[in-house]
Amino acid sequence: MTVEMSQGESLQEFFSPVLAKIKVSAHRAQALEILQWIHREFPNLKARIAWNQPMFTDHDTYIIGLSFASKHLSVSPEQAGIAYCEESLKKLKLSYTANLFRIPWGAEPPYDLLRSVIEFNIEDKKSVTGFWR
């Protein structure tokens, strides 16, 4: 099931069903902080919950999503996004796979990296008509 945030709904209210699944309150607060930062910095992106995960879309195409584990939160910018920011991930010593990178709970969020990969995906996917690449 996919749900999009309604006009006038707060981001915290909208994402509360997925955030409630994070057991540690400090981790929940960190996840909300990152989601709010994305929403504030990229107000044209639409907030969405799909596959029980918070994500942001542009013209109905996926831009970035988050998921949560016991030791970290994962940021998923698709494989092209990972390839684009791979050198930065190595410099920041962040763990990553072909599809996602991990931010350890309690670590300072890498906002410059997030900005860069979101801007890349928006530009790279501006003519994409499907949800995924």
Instruction: For the domain covering 2-123, report its CATH number.
Output: 3.90.1150.200
Residue 1 reports pLDDT greater than 90? no
| Predicted TM-score of the model (pTM) | 0.95
* CB environment 88-112: b (16+ within 10 A), e (fewer): ebeeeebebeeebbbbebeeeebee
> Sheet harboring 46-50: ordered strands across?
2-4, 46-50, 53-58, 61-68, 72-76, 101-104
Q: What is the pLDDT of residue 121?
A: 98
pLDDT digits (tens, 9 = 90+) for 8-19: 899 999 999 999
Domain residue extents for the chain: 2-123
Residue found by looking up tokens 């995960």 in the block: 53
pLDDT in tens, 59-105: 999 999 999 999 999 999 999 999 999 999 999 999 999 999 999 99
